[in-house]
Structure 1
């Protein structure tokens, strides 16, 4: 039986410490709205989404418009040269999931990133055209709009085209992303011509970014639909650039791309229904597995930020990430044991193995035969009728592969790094994965993206998701726990300091100033190897909406705004906006 070693007051200390760090400014009040809410990582895209809702569009219409706008105004992750997932919960309680994730090219091979001795070639899956998977965003947006939207494509794309053609003024957050990656972008002439000044330096806040080639590409899609991207000039230009610069993409890769519509993963947690991403994402399955384990513990009593709560979360994460990294993959290629991982009896079995006083040892959980970052972006939308959409899409690394096919204006992804290049070898996010995620032609790499909708009593309760590579799962999970168990308001839940464990490496990551010194001392005494703000991994920019009030307490009193939106305070240019 657990006893709360750290009193609940300790978390107030944690928050106070965190507030001293400029990365954790005091949480503002959530944005409020009665008719709709859009939360995205770029304020211009958010405003475009709200305008679509005001003009009578539904949440899917707004999601399409926001997706295209981010491709212009948030080039570090917004994209039409990448791919992603869309979870939709409709007003009648039904739901669906669109997989428009990138796919491996037809010429891809299992050993394409290994040298003659079978060793991984450094950054071969990250830089340049060999790292690029077949993009899916345009096809995904088109399928969503055609099946579930209400507005013409031209109306939804016009704002993004205008942003690209006329340009937009960079704010401090925008400029910071360009400065961070200026040297990498400078290596590709077409990318440098767009995103850097003639002298190779980064653009500053207050300057305008104009993208005429991207405006032309978007205009062609607006006029002709997805064929303009997959069967016409854009596909030809990308394929030609790839073949000329060491890649393997061909026009056939684009012509054969198809979106998959799948059944979302669903589970329950303390009476709430979770609707999230199925394979080829691990997100929904692993969030549910962790929630199932934690449901057996009194987290609210133990307190947010206590050593006991952190210990239980870390151990649930450890066991779930073993399953993620060893067993899950593209459902067209792998038989995913999702039903087992969602079984509450399986969660009880895991709980029985967790020592209440000691950290586990990851090496002891190694399966037999076992040999993602801030450059993703998430947005959450809900409309006046209660249709809720969660979208997470990505270029993988910052600015993707760092290349733009001349004449297109399209930044291309480096999503191939999400495959298992060699079992047991970490990827960009330190994930050590197995054969289930090995490279094969037309296969989708395993993802952590977790666009999630939570419902209660048949009605939408929360829309949530985040970027963060392998930490997407735990970031999204912690926002849910903070609202349901710790009764934080939606902004506090998203801004709160985070922890993460992913099985291998056997390290408990703690966000800078995320836990009190006393709590850290207790965890170290339990056997945890702690990394406290020492790594350079990003901790996401979550985007969430809570329905009926800003917090569970306000909802229970019945006195809150209908929609309450929160954009992570870690975001440099994001916005939550309702009307």
Structure 2
């Protein structure tokens, strides 16, 4: 199964599973497809975090590749996504690298319709799009308005970049021809990304934080990253809320209090409406599960596209309040035992409501409830660009559940019994 915020990317992940790929292959293919079909939140210039749970190997690992400030901070973030997904796919993937990148390359070159999910965000991001010639050419019509859902968009420069990544691996993005163009653009446009910043970019592999909710082991991002620190505070506050008589009876109230308290603990009083983030999940027939969340630190990030590459750079974390986006990336996996298949693999992204929705789902499962339909998830509709996507299993039944307030998709790939 696969699930995410943008349907064309989800279908790409499903196709990879159908071709014999595992969950990591599917998640990697979904990410690269999102860079074409949903670049408002998942561009090649952004960063993120994934958690991989592989019961066959009895391992659960975290891959951290957040977009970071350059050594000399400026307007643009140093991208982490391409390196992160390359390292994760090399560690766990079953298919050749070329096979998981090529679908996105084809979509960029031959064109893909604007989905309702992307059109919704384009309508709010018009001011950002108008300031960049590359984005304007792609997403504005002749009257200067964002293009409507169903309009086919071609991005040959991005296709060329994806082709280079497919053929040469992630190194071309960080120390090759693409890196040269990014560094040259950053210097000429007042940014400060240097070749040394790109060359030094790594994906950190670590052990996620483990906590208990009911009878489940829950794997969260570790405390060394912002998303892990916030998730840790959130779940600690949720435990406090559920220890009260009111919180024990009313999960919704407990989650709301825990989120409000966590935001107070972090001194967050106000956030931008759109933090430019998205989450997606994959699970295969062997039980391998992957939950990922990525961000551009605002819609289309910095709003600046590197000429000749189709790569829009994320906004530097220190450049604005949107730099808090990484704190709300919430990939989470829950299982009865470390070597059991996941009961829940989910990802909240875009803001605190996405993280709260994941906490709500876990709390309900721990309380003995079944979450098997989309409407059973806690809606994030009060903050439209905070989303939650999850795959939830009960017994032998699993469901791929996109956010009930968004325009995503969950897809099942039939597996023939041997």
Q: Same fold (TM over 0.5)?
A: yes
- The corresponding residue for 2:63 is 98
C-alpha separation in 1, matches of 2:391 and 2:294: 18
Of 323, 344, 358, the residue aligned with 1:462 is 344
C-alpha separation in 1, matches of 2:278 and 2:326: 17
- The corresponding residue for 1:567 is 402
Q: Deviations over 1:266-318 (max 9, x none)?
A: 0001111110111212244224313432442467862355xxxx2x4444345
Q: Deviations over 1:208-246 (max 9, x none)?
A: 011100000000000111111111222222222222221
- Deviation of residue 428 (structure 1)? 4.0
- The corresponding residue for 1:296 is 243
- The corresponding residue for 1:480 is 362
Number of equivalenced pairs: 405
- The corresponding residue for 1:72 is 36
- The corresponding residue for 1:389 is 290
Q: Secondary structure of 1:487's partner?
A: coil
Conserved 8 A contact 1:171-1:206: yes
- Deviation of residue 323 (structure 1)? 5.0
C-alpha separation in 1, matches of 2:237 and 2:372: 21
Q: Deviations over 1:382-439 (max 9, x none)?
A: 111101100001112111111111111112111424x7x7xxxxx248x7xxxxxxxx
C-alpha separation in 2, matches of 1:165 and 1:56: 25
- Deviation of residue 57 (structure 1)? 1.4
- The corresponding residue for 1:226 is 170
Conserved 8 A contact 2:235-2:258: no
Of 384, 394, 402, the residue aligned with 1:538 is 384
C-alpha separation in 2, matches of 1:81 and 1:461: 32
Once the two structures are superposed, the pairs formed by residues 232-251 of structure 1 within 5 Å of their partners are 232-251=176-195
Conserved 8 A contact 2:8-2:115: no
Could you say which structure has the larger radius of gyration?
Answer: 1
Structure 1 residues without counterparts, runs of 5 or longer: 1-36, 109-129, 327-361, 363-371, 422-426, 432-444, 499-510, 513-536, 549-554
- Deviation of residue 177 (structure 1)? 2.2
C-alpha separation in 2, matches of 1:245 and 1:494: 47
- The corresponding residue for 1:406 is 307
User: Which one is further off, 274-283 or 284-293?
Assistant: 284-293
Of 180, 183, 188, the residue aligned with 2:124 is 180
- Higher strand share goes to which structure? 2
- The corresponding residue for 2:258 is 316
Change (3 A) 1:385 1:268: same
C-alpha separation in 2, matches of 1:486 and 1:402: 45
Conserved 8 A contact 2:48-2:326: no
Change (3 A) 1:464 1:43: same
User: Which one is further off, 395-404 or 187-196?
Assistant: 187-196
Conserved 8 A contact 2:391-2:400: yes
- Deviation of residue 85 (structure 1)? 0.3
- Deviation of residue 497 (structure 1)? 4.2
C-alpha separation in 1, matches of 2:29 and 2:337: 30
Change (3 A) 1:272 1:52: same
Per the normalisation by structure 1, the TM-score is 0.65
C-alpha separation in 2, matches of 1:318 and 1:568: 21
Conserved 8 A contact 2:295-2:326: no
- The corresponding residue for 1:450 is 330
C-alpha separation in 2, matches of 1:493 and 1:479: 11
Conserved 8 A contact 2:374-2:403: no
Conserved 8 A contact 2:242-2:251: no
Conserved 8 A contact 1:382-1:389: yes
Once the two structures are superposed, the pairs formed by residues 258-273 of structure 1 within 5 Å of their partners are 258-273=202-217
Of 233, 244, 249, the residue aligned with 1:286 is 233
- The corresponding residue for 1:201 is 145
Q: Secondary structure of 1:447's partner?
A: helix
- Deviation of residue 466 (structure 1)? 1.6
- The corresponding residue for 1:88 is 52
What CA RMSD, in Å, does the superposition of the two structures yield over aligned residues?
2.6
Corresponding position: 1:255 with 2:199: yes
Per the normalisation by structure 2, the TM-score is 0.89
Change (3 A) 1:542 1:284: same
Corresponding position: 1:42 with 2:6: yes
Structure 2 residues without counterparts, runs of 5 or longer: none
Change (3 A) 1:61 1:449: same
Corresponding position: 1:496 with 2:378: yes
Change (3 A) 1:478 1:289: same
Q: Secondary structure of 1:389's partner?
A: strand
- The corresponding residue for 2:19 is 55
C-alpha separation in 2, matches of 1:229 and 1:238: 9
